[in-house]
Structure 1
């Protein structure tokens, strides 16, 4: 029996292991080799005047939870997995936007009447999207605090040696996509399909498909991992 080609999971740990587990449940063998790594930061957390928290990633929840023991404020989460992480961290009131940063901002703006104070967004040092501006434009007070940093890492030599046998690479962020595009300049993979979480992630690959570094590029119709993985069976 011929083994199924492996699926390259490029997102940072620990999320990469969650994705790998979902792939195994689908009967698809994963190759976990992140192109990004999460480095926790240690800022001072000031919650004075803060009425709600907004999280755009599981990493943000986990980093904030290590820095602050307060769990009294309501949480707005970008998606269901981030919402679940917030509940597991001890937050009682959690709402999920089940989408992307724009959907999260819309959820918060729609809840503005019950937010009596500022919205604090604990997240990455270099966020993938701007969530603060839409909130401020809607009349809310909002600010960010960087609780972790995402840094790029090179793929393992063994992964580069297997590029010709891999079926698909999964990309969850524009930064990972940009890193992959640079890797493929020296190691093109004309038989590799790139499946992306959103149009912005796909766009970050630039001309990788057109110039033959990738076989094809597609993005999920909805920016959730479930929709992304559904592309594998479409």
Structure 2
């Protein structure tokens, strides 16, 4: 199966390798790239905090280039939104990791179950744009949190001919969509070409992602049973 991968380039390369091992033909179409704000990360980490919250492996790539003179406490409690983020935390040397079920609100509930009344704020090493479900739920639970936007995802533009080549030359049979923003961006730049993909399935990692798919394409949407790539692959 020819599968379009819309994740940012570093993550997309890993996904492509997994697809190849399963016998599929991946087509890389990264829709965004990261800009890291390492000074913001440094300033946030030197302030007192009771635990770290991370919802994307990109946060650890942002941490990778910060001031080497800053000692990061890698034994501090770290709350990761899911297993992929937790794996990135382990690779970055963190040892005290709690793993959520893949969504922000659920992660907030996990944090509340582990930290009843922290005397210092939680530090959320966040990106932009992002869903607000985690922060909203933390506020509902009365948990203090300080948000540090340490990276920003900016869109990648493609010429029409390049999109036609990647999507239509050898017709894609599936498009993997990883977030609401990711899905919205795909159809913003490729909706005209997607009309010419009547046999293509749009595989969404969550209902929230699926809601960003234009109504005309929703009959071809499939939604993963859980918000992780393994469940997304199960739709292929």
Under TM normalisation by the shorter chain, which class is it?
0.7 to 0.9
CA distance in 2, matches of 1:129, 1:228: 22
2:144 counterpart (119, 131, 141): 141
Shift of 1:83: 0.4
- Does the 8 Å contact 1:181/1:208 carry over to 2? no
1:230 counterpart (223, 227, 234): 234
- Does the 8 Å contact 1:132/1:143 carry over to 2? no
- Unpaired segments ≥5 residues, structure 1: none
CA distance in 2, matches of 1:144, 1:137: 16
Aligned pairs for 1:1-234 (under 5 A) are 5-42=1-38, 43=40, 44-67=43-66, 69-70=71-72, 71-113=74-116, 115-155=118-158, 157-164=161-168, 165-187=171-193, 188=195, 189-209=197-217, 216-232=220-236
Name the structure with the higher helix share: 2
Cα RMSD over matched residues?
A: 1.9
Greater alpha carbon shift after TM alignment, 109-118 vs 11-20: 109-118
- Does the 8 Å contact 2:27/2:166 carry over to 1? no
CA 1:135–1:87 in 2, change beyond 3 Å: closer, same or farther? Answer: same
Shift of 1:203: 0.6
CA distance in 2, matches of 1:132, 1:82: 18
Aligned length: 224
Greater alpha carbon shift after TM alignment, 219-228 vs 61-70: 61-70
CA distance in 2, matches of 1:56, 1:200: 16
- Does the 8 Å contact 2:35/2:152 carry over to 1? yes
- Does the 8 Å contact 2:3/2:25 carry over to 1? yes
- Unpaired segments ≥5 residues, structure 2: none
Greater alpha carbon shift after TM alignment, 138-147 vs 58-67: 58-67
Report the secondary structure of 1:201's partner residue: helix
Q: Report the TM-score, using the length of structure 2 for normalisation.
A: 0.87
Q: Report the TM-score, using the length of structure 1 for normalisation.
A: 0.88
CA distance in 1, matches of 2:65, 2:116: 30
